[in-house]
Structure 1
């Protein structure tokens, strides 16, 4: 997959509110749109795109506020994400959809409203089955207001519950993260912290509304990592019981970041092909 990035063709659409939305395409076969999560962009899924490109025409979008796309805008909401995805669908004719994390939440919301989506796959979508404690989101916002990006990021990591840092004191989590996340990786995350804050306000807005996904007609592949917290696997099980035509797959050796370039995109791609091409 060394030459994956050079194989992409970059395009863009103009969304309903005039925002430019960029996407990159490669491959052959039925159209499949990849929707990335928070604190990431299309570049983080180039390896997954490459693994899928022998079976599908892949379109990896940069969601608004990310990569080469325009800003989120002052009226940012899930509805804006839906409008953007609808425009890319119209431009590409794709009827297959994959979303990771927050991109998985967008994909679920899109599929319940758009009956022309025939197959859907999500990896650990940002779905909260029950009402939860969102105090960390206020801490995040206060840290951003005082320009303390490290504290904002630590509040997010502890609050999202995907790592053992959740159980550590705030000051210690901030210290550990400053050692673990540095250089170009930190530069990218720091730049996206304002967008991430708005996106997780939307996650909170949709908490405990999972019954909406009974409206999804598409065959749905629900995926999660075995190393992720039990609450994530329980969420996948609940969605599997909610969506009429669904299949749940747990990858024992993976965590929340399974689909991105640095983890196991090939393993994820095998399951997507198996499900979408059957």
Structure 2
């Protein structure tokens, strides 16, 4: 493990594994780099994967207040500068961070999986107030049930009565990953509100000059594919990929049908990648 000094003087713990060109992983909300062990392992025979826990998690420094996605971009910039890496993978909220970062940091190639964005009014974020209320009342399972339904709008489970969904989440919170996600839920809400604060059209990302792979899961909420399609129309060097049977957490599960195309994307010559026509 190495230490990277952030612009505010905080010390970022950097975990690097593998050999080859450097790729920086920006993980999603509600989790840590621990959930991406399979992805890291399956890329590390071809790339040096640099992973770090975002602020407020495990070995990461405390989050700066008031929180802003710009702080995340500063930390990513410090990691890129320290490692010399110019390739980035971002998942969910980490995809939002990485895409915003690509507007001002020297990122040459960016792979996003289910990037968390709010484009043209979708997805709806009105459920967040109910989550805040549940957390203030100490009802973590209820709060998680509301979040799950608000995010997974396509799921049949999201249409079950709230009491049933709360019971399911209460059981989930007893698992190791459930406990971690429950502990991080207040932080996840702060991050989600940053996504909402940057709501707009895909045109906001037209200035991204990196080669971009916009991957999403066929079994994830449909707005991810919708957003990626809109982004591919305005980002000059972007293309989309839908992964059959993949859910929102597929990048952590790291099936070959997702990992291999990402590896090929990073390995391809910069000058020969196809782009999606406008």
Distance change (3 Å), C-alpha of 1:151 and 1:20? farther
2: CA distance, partners of 1:210 / 1:194:
28
1: CA distance, partners of 2:144 / 2:11:
27
Q: Secondary structure at the match of 1:259?
A: helix
Which of residues 96, 116, 120 is equivalent to 1:126? 116
Residue matched to 1:90? 81
CA contact (8 A) 1:95 1:117 kept: yes
Q: Secondary structure at the match of 1:248?
A: strand
Residue matched to 1:11? 2
Deviation (angstroms), 1:204? 0.8
Deviation (angstroms), 1:209? 4.1
2: CA distance, partners of 1:130 / 1:179:
35
Q: Secondary structure at the match of 2:103?
A: helix
TM-score by length of 1: 0.90
Residue matched to 2:192? 200
Q: Secondary structure at the match of 1:273?
A: helix
Q: Secondary structure at the match of 2:206?
A: helix
Q: Secondary structure at the match of 1:112?
A: coil
What are the residue-to-residue correspondences of 1:71-220 with 2, within 5 Å? 71-114=62-105, 116-132=106-122, 133-161=124-152, 163-220=155-212
The answer to whether residue 23 in structure 2 is matched with residue 39 in structure 1 is no
Which of residues 206, 225, 239 is equivalent to 1:233? 225
TM-score by length of 2: 0.90
Residue matched to 1:222? 214
Deviation (angstroms), 1:249? 0.8
The answer to whether residue 254 in structure 2 is matched with residue 264 in structure 1 is yes
Deviation (angstroms), 1:181? 4.6
Deviation (angstroms), 1:137? 0.6
Deviation (angstroms), 1:175? 1.6
Let me know the Cα RMSD of the aligned residues.
Answer: 1.6
Structure 1 outlier segments of 4+, above 6 Å: none
> Which sections of structure 2, spanning at least 5 residues, go unmatched?
269-278
2: CA distance, partners of 1:90 / 1:230:
35
Which of residues 264, 271, 278 is equivalent to 1:274? 264
CA contact (8 A) 1:45 1:60 kept: no
